[in-house]
Amino acid sequence: MKFQKITVCLDMYGCPNRCRHCWLGVTPNGNLKVGDLTDVARAFRPFTGNLEVVDRYREEDFGDNYRDLWQIRAALSDTRTPHFENISCWRAARDLSYVPWLASLGVKAAQLTIFGDEAATDYYVGRRGAFKEILRTIEQLLRHGISPRLQTFIYKSNLDQLTYIRDLIAELDLELRCSAVGGQFAFFLHQGTCDGENEQFYDVWITPEDIDRIPPELIARTLKHFGADDMRDVLGEPEDRLCEQIAADTATKSIVTDSPVFHVDKDFNVYPNYETPSPIWCLGNLKTLGAERILANYVENRSPGQSVMNTVPLRDIGAAAGNPDSRRLFLRDDYERYLVNKYCRLMRQQELNP
């Protein structure tokens, strides 16, 4: 069994935040060793001629040895993706050499997430002090020639924060200051995917009338970022309409690819990088089964989520898990993923309570 490329991401240290919107979910942090990363690389090495090894799938550069890990990753990998633009504000606030190091790697833009003012941002990030760290990080980035890019997740519960964000962008003069360092400021908003921690906001999910509450300046910036003509292209269609579409869709689906990306948690359970790492998508434990069996489970669609997608027509999943009375906005692919997760939970409940 050979793959064109395998990317394997080990959650060595976890994340300092407990973000209420995180699609990856909030799970206990680990404290793995470099030897664990080496062992994971060794396990998957026989199955591809192009292996990429990553020391995280949650917070970037959370470990104090982040610089060493950057080099170790390179030594274990055949190819390496440039440093991701989702940087660590937590690290930047505690290590003044971090942002210069990012600049030395050629990072030109860095994405930061805010939800509104200090109280709102700290609430959604799940950690006091997060907002102030973001503001300090913005200043550090600009001093070292890196343009901040801001994103905001929107729900009915924080729409009233959007005017604050609009005014903050103007107050910090981000458009001009990014231009002065040879970059370009960007902002965008969206609701994210309704999975992981973010699924808890289904009850306050945005609906079509909420678009009118978004400041025009933020709409313009969002459309520019996505290259879209209308906010519906960004936020999607109402759930009732999607239910109608899906009711006629008899398709099944496989997520198997020749260049898979896998998440490995601190306990060495393995998941495809398609949905929230959870029992629904678990391919097995690397220590117990070994990489060959894990990869066979992936190819054979043996995780519960994959099995459902591969065998149950989408219309049946929608009939069981959809809400035809809802006007919540979803992109079609995001909504299908939400339905699969919900369907799997419903089937599990039926098994436990026949």
SS3 7: strand
Please report, for the chain, the start and end positions of each structural domain, with discontinuous segments joined by +.
6-237+257-300, 238-252+312-354
**Residue 129: pLDDT over 90:** yes
User: For residues 6 and 48, is the Cβ–Cβ distance under 8 A?
Assistant: yes
Q: How far is CA 23 from CA 196, 273, 290, 308, 329, in A?
A: 4, 11, 27, 20, 17
Locate all alpha helices (DSSP H) within the chain, ordered by sequence: 34-44, 66-76, 89-94, 98-104, 118-125, 130-143, 162-171, 174-180, 216-226, 231-235, 239-246, 286-289, 291-299, 304-311, 314-321, 332-352
What is the pLDDT, as a whole number, of residue 142? 98
pLDDT band at 292 (very low <50, low <70, confident <90, very high): very high
pLDDT band at 293 (very low <50, low <70, confident <90, very high): very high
CA 246 – CA 268 distance, rounded (Å): 36
Give tens-digit pLDDT for 177-222: 999 999 999 999 999 999 999 999 999 999 999 999 999 999 999 9
For the chain, give the percent of residues with pLDDT over 70: 100
- pTM for the full model? 0.95
Give tens-digit pLDDT for 141-183: 999 999 999 999 999 999 999 999 999 999 999 999 999 999 9
Cβ count within 10 A of residue 192: 20
| CA nearest neighbour of 59 among 105, 122, 113 | 113
**CATH code for the structural domain at 6-237+257-300:** 3.20.20.70
| CA nearest neighbour of 269 among 257, 279, 255, 258 | 279
* Average pLDDT over the chain, rounded to an integer: 97
CA 192 – CA 23 distance, rounded (Å): 8
What is the pLDDT, as a whole number, of residue 222? 99
CA 283 – CA 188 distance, rounded (Å): 34
Contacts (Cβ under 8 Å, ≥6 apart) of 195: 23, 275, 276, 337, 338, 341
- Residue listed under structure tokens 């660590």: 88
**Residue 1: pLDDT over 90:** no
Give tens-digit pLDDT for 71-117: 999 999 999 888 989 999 999 999 999 999 999 999 999 999 999 99
User: For residues 261 and 5, is the Cβ–Cβ distance under 8 A?
Assistant: no
* pLDDT (mean) for 105-134: 97
**Residue 354: pLDDT over 80:** no
Cβ count within 10 A of residue 126: 17
Residue 238 backbone phi and psi in degrees, to 5: -65, 150
Residue 112 backbone phi and psi in degrees, to 5: -125, 150
Q: How far is CA 210 from CA 164, 191, 206, 214, 289, in A?
A: 17, 12, 6, 7, 48
Contacts (Cβ under 8 Å, ≥6 apart) of 243: 318, 322, 323, 324
Residue 151 backbone phi and psi in degrees, to 5: -125, 150
**Residue 352: pLDDT over 80:** no
SS3 8: strand
**Residue 15: pLDDT over 80:** yes
